[in-house]
């Protein structure tokens, strides 16, 4: 209702321009009991049902920072909605309103969890399933230097290479999918991984298809050979490192800026002047705290 109070609701703007695509990104959506309630990623994740699946055995559910609902179910799904609406407009010539709810966005992202409940992937309690830290071959393990290795050897041919790299004999171990043996196998794997450094394990597994990779810090990820070969991370003028825009398009790849990020309010006056506001009007907006202006000259 905020935009309606400002006289900028979709009905008003679509009358002005029927081709307009009006995206409304909120936590709970435009309608429903919680539509006007405050919330954060963890709340949207909880209401979607997904949070109940995240966490280890006998521990509270925990969210993966705020990536899933805010950015995945929210930003990415809203952006996809805009792309879809643009594609449809090319045929109809009409815009439309996008009601992007983070609850519904992250629920839709989790369709795999809903659809796979009856095939054995998620039939056990949290933390005891194939992909939620229940399986010994889909887990992270601490190395002797306090770092970690990530293991994702699900398929038998990959699992066999994992076992070989760990120096174990497959014939002397329980069957890979023997659920009752998973806790003991995790202890065995953990004790073996703890005997070598992360670099030593990388030298063992890098040339294999065991699906074993190092858990890298941000700094290490940017300097890793694979990522460097693909230029996956970029450095801006002040020396800050960030991911390169993805995915990479063959004909029109993104051209990232290497300038520093603008300060909040740095270009406010410049842009408003460009759009016809007078300096007096801008000063009034600033004094009313409607806009923020960062005066770089004044801070020097």
Catalytic residue annotation: 40, 70
C-alpha angle 132/138/141, rounded to 5°?
A: 105
Handedness of CA 130, 51, 220, 196 (dihedral sign): negative
The secondary structure of the chain, three-state, reads CHHHHCCCCHHHHHHHCCCCCEEEEECCCCCCCCCCCCCCHHHHHHHHCCHHHCCCCCCCCCCCCCHHHHHHHHHHHHHHHHHHHHHHHHHHCCCCEEEEEHHHHHHHHCHHHHHCHHHCCCCCCCCCCCCCCCCCCEEEEECCCCCEEEEECCCHHHHHHHHHHCCCCHHHCCCCCCHHHHHHHHHHHHHHHCCCCHHHHHHHHCCCCCCEEECCCHHHHHHCHHHHHCCCEEECCCCCEEECCCCCCCCCCCCCCCCCCCCCCCCHHHHHHHCCCCHHHHHHHHHCCCCCCCCCCCCC
CB 102 within 8 A of CB 69: yes
d(CA 27, CA 76): 13
């Amino acid at each position: 209702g905020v935009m309606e109070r400002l006289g900028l609701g979709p009905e008003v703007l679509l009358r002005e321009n029927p081709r307009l695509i009006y995206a409304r990104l909120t936590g709970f959506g435009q309608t429903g009991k919680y539509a006007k309630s405050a919330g954060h990623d963890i709340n949207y994740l909880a209401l979607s049902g997904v949070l109940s699946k995240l966490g280890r055995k006998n521990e509270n559910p925990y969210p993966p920072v705020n990536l899933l609902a805010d950015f995945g179910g929210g930003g990415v799904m809203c952006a996809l909605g805009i792309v879809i609406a643009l594609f449809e407009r090319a045929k109809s010539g009409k815009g439309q309103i996008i009601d992007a709810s983070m609850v519904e966005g992250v629920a839709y992202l989790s369709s795999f969890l809903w659809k796979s409940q009856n095939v054995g992937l998620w039939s056990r309690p949290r933390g005891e399933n194939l992909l939620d830290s229940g399986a010994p071959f889909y887990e992270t393990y601490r190395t002797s230097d306090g770092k970690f290795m990530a293991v994702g050897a699900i398929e038998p041919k990959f699992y066999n290479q994992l076992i070989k790299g760990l120096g174990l004999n497959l014939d002397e171990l329980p069957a890979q999918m023997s659920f009752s043996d998973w806790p003991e196998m995790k202890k065995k794997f953990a004790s073996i991984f703890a005997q070598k450094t992360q670099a030593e394990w990388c030298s063992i597994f890098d040339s294999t298809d065991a699906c074993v990779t190092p858990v890298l810090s941000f700094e290490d990820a940017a300097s890793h050979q694979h990522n460097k070969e693909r230029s996956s991370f970029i450095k801006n003028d002040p020396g800050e490192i960030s991911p390169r825009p993805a995915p990479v398009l063959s004909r029109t790849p993104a051209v990232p800026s290497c300038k520093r990020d603008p300060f909040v309010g740095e270009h406010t006056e410049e842009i408003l002047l460009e759009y016809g506001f007078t300096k007096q009007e801008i000063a009034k907006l600033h004094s009313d705290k409607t806009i923020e202006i960062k005066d770089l000259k004044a801070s020097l």
